[in-house]
């Protein structure tokens, strides 16, 4: 390992090598610059150190040295993977290949609404560059904007504008393979192609999907489609009165998305989230005795709060986008649909309209609780403090059918498991036309770590028994999730191993990522 760090230092400079994990990462929670998981679920794995290349050529050189010395690398873009392991590797003692210094916005096209970015470009960076150039574009951002555009996309992350399905917005990749070779996908495989960020398919086999949540390569450039700024915008909320009204709420939202009435992904949150983040002094006072380690807020307390405040049990957030003539018509269609659904109530803010012949800027809407206008924020970072100073979180994130009844059944099981574990269920459903991402955000203090690990394993087991698995997972549970994909004796996992053997015969690149190893197994490199 010392020899690896010496060789890396000669390539990228000693200042860009961390020979232990204590320093060198981007500033994170509480200003810490250490590598690893800021909210560790187990203490069995941590990185040995880190290297921070600045260019594709430096990445290639580092990978070749790692192959020669059999040093496992764990690739991160910016290391902001909160709730899923941060920059912690699966294999203890791996070296973090930290790409945050590769932070160029290679290109932004206002005409064709795309950007090409390197791994270190954050959602804040892209947003601020668009504002600086006064471009008529909105970028899709996740709930917390300090993460990598490229990294979020490769982990199948999402945002809240009409282009919020980031895997769909992606077009074109540049990839360093585990051997150090350089590859471009799609139309980028053609020299001097003008279609790298415009046509994803390319010619012949399409391989972009091989590099999502995988350890088959290191993506160093990514094309990403942006949303043209609309003429008009309307922020909407649909309130569901009772707990059981989740059923008609989900059914209605999914149908309206399929019918193109709603153009982005609604997020559905529960009464606990509403109460916790309300900033209402009376609500905070009522919650206070039930917030803390080994506690959870009783249902009757939440019921009393919501009836006094006139809140529903569930609230869906989404927006309408389009030309000046279209958004009011969409709003009328939405009003008619909600009025016909039992237990649901619509609250719509006034339509925001650009001057004639102009388009809206994101700041015409401003920073919102959920960034439907593409304005990045760090506001949600403080929510974990409600449990204990320095508390963290992990996310259990199953993919579910867009069926209200099936989601409600899943929710009741997950809710009881969560109550039994003495934590609060912070629910956040993200509704798409033909699937729903259900995120249960579990906030915990370090003294509760073992109990949270058991809760997560139980939630995984319950979901699998119901026919569901997660869209991404914490590094501590990647092998557990891989076991869900057992069709035909685990044929998919075996196929992934064969690919890993060919592309990464030494098993040096992110071993164990998504439960994929080479045939040497869990020994890593």
Characterise 488 by phi-psi region: left (phi > 0), alpha (psi -120 to 50), beta (else).
left
Whole-number Å distance between alpha carbons of 70 and 123: 34
**Residues ≥6 apart with Cβ < 8 Å to 386:** 276, 291, 443
| Orientation angle between helical segments 404-420 and 246-258, nearest 10 degrees | 130
CB 285 within 8 A of CB 233: no
Q: How far is CA 162 from CA 64, 248, 335, 371, 372, in A?
A: 41, 23, 20, 12, 9
CB 17: neighbour CB atoms within 10 A? Answer: 21
Half-sphere exposure in the Cβ direction for 326 (13 Å, CA): 12
Residue from 150, 108, 116, 115 nearest 133 by CA: 108
Q: Report d(CA 225, CA 64) in Å as an integer.
A: 32
The DSSP symbol for 513 reads G
Q: Which residues are catalytic?
A: 84, 471-472
Tell me what pLDDT residue 44 has: 82
The answer to whether 81 and 40 have CB atoms below 8 angstroms apart is: no
Cα dihedral 410, 411, 415, 418 sign: positive
Q: Are strands 95-98 and 73-76 parallel, antiparallel or unpaired?
A: parallel
* Long-range CB contacts for residues 454-457, cutoff 8 Å, separation at least 24: 454/421, 455/417, 455/418, 455/421, 455/423, 456/41, 456/394, 456/396
Cα 358-131-125 angle, rounded to 5 deg: 145
Domains of the chain: 2-98 (3.30.43.10), 105-228 (3.30.465.10), 231-474 (3.40.462.10)
User: How far is Cα 27 from Cα 435, in angstroms, rounded to an integer?
Assistant: 35
Q: Encode pLDDT of 362-421 as tens digits.
A: 988 877 889 999 999 998 888 888 899 889 999 999 999 999 999 999 999 999 999 999
The Cα–Cα gap between 87 and 82 comes to 9
CB count in 10 Å sphere of residue 46: 17
User: How far apart, in whole angstroms, are the C-alpha atoms of residue 236 and residue 48?
Assistant: 47
Burial (CB count within 10 angstroms: exposed 0-12, middle 13-18, buried 19+), residue 180: middle
Query: E strand or H helix at 339, and its extent?
Result: helix 326-339
C-alpha to C-alpha distance for 1 and 76, rounded to whole angstroms: 19
Q: Enumerate residue ranges in the chain where pLDDT < 70.
A: 521-525
pLDDT digits (tens, 9 = 90+) for 208-242: 999 999 999 999 999 999 999 999 999 999 999 99
3-class secondary-structure state, position 331: helix
Q: DSSP 3-state assignment of 390?
A: coil
Contact 32, 390 (CB under 8 A): no
Sequence-separated (6 or more) residues with CB below 8 Å from residue 15: none
Q: How far apart are CA 264 and CA 158, in angstroms?
A: 11
Q: What is the CA radius of gyration of the chain?
A: 23
Strand partners, 240: 314, 344
Rounded distance between C-alpha atoms, residue 246 and residue 272, angstroms: 15
DSSP assignment of 345-379 equals EEEEPPPEEPPTT----HHHH---SS-TT-----G
Distance (Å, whole) CA 174 – CA 84: 25
Residues 6+ apart with CB under 8 A from 177: 183, 216, 217, 218, 503, 504
What dihedral angle (degrees, nearest 10) is formed by the CA atoms of 176, 179, 181, 185?
-50
Question: What is the reported pLDDT for 524?
Answer: 41
pLDDT of 523 reads: 44
């Amino acid at each position: 390992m010392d020899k690896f760090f010496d060789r890396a230092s000669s390539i990228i400079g000693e200042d860009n090598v961390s020979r232990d994990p204590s320093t060198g990462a981007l500033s994170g929670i509480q200003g810490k610059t250490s590598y690893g998981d800021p909210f560790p679920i187990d203490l069995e794995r941590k990185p040995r150190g880190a290297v921070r290349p600045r260019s594709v050529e430096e990445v290639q050189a580092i990978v070749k040295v790692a192959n020669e010395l059999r040093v496992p690398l764990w690739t991160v873009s910016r290391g902001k993977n909160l709730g899923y392991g941060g920059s912690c590797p699966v294999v203890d003692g791996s070296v973090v290949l930290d790409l945050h210094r590769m932070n160029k916005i290679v290109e932004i096209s206002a005409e064709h609404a795309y950007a090409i970015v390197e791994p270190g470009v954050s959602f804040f960076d892209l947003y601020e560059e668009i504002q600086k150039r006064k471009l008529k574009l909105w970028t899709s951002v996740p709930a917390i904007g300090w993460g990598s555009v490229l990294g979020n996309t490769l982990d199948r992350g999402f945002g809240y504008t009409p282009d919020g399905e980031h895997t769909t917005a992606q077009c074109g990749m540049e990839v360093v393979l585990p051997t150090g070779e350089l590859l471009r996908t799609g139309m980028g495989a053609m020299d001097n192609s003008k279609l790298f960020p415009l046509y994803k398919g390319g010619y012949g086999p399409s391989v972009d999907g091989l590099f999502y949540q995988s350890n088959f390569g290191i993506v160093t450039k990514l094309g990403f489609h942006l949303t043209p700024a609309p003429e008009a915008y309307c922020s909407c909320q649909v309130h569901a009165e009772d707990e059981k009204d989740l059923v008609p709420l989900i059914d209605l939202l999914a149908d309206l998305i399929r019918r193109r009435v709603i153009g982005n992904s609604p997020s559905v949150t529960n009464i606990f989230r509403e109460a916790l983040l309300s900033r209402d002094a009376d609500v905070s006072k009522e919650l206070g005795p039930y917030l803390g380690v080994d506690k959870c807020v009783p249902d009757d307390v939440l019921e009393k709060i919501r009836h006094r405040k006139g809140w529903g049990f569930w609230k869906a957030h989404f927006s309408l986008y389009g030309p000046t003539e279209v958004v009011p018509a969409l709003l009328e269609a939405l009003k008619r649909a909600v009025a016909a659904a039992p237990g649901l109530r619509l609250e719509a803010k006034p339509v925001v309209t650009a001057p004639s012949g102009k388009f809206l800027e994101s700041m015409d809407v401003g920073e919102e609780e959920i960034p439907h206008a593409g304005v990045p924020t760090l506001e949600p970072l403080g929510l974990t403090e409600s449990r204990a100073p320095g508390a963290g979180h992990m996310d259990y994130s199953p993919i579910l059918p867009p069926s209200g009844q099936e989601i409600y059944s899943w929710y009741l099981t997950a809710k009881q498991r969560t109550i039994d574990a003495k934590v609060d269920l912070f629910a956040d459903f993200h509704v798409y036309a033909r699937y729903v991402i259900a995120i249960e955000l579990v906030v915990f203090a370090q003294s509760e770590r073992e109990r949270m690990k058991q809760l997560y394993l139980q939630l995984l087991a319950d979901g699998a028994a119901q026919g569901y698995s997660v869209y991404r997972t914490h590094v501590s549970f990647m092998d557990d999730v891989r076991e869900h994909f057992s069709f035909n004796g685990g044929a998919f996992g075996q196929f992934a191993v064969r690919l890993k053997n060919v592309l990464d015969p030494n098993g040096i690149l992110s071993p164990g990522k998504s439960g994929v190893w080479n045939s040497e197994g869990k020994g890593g490199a």
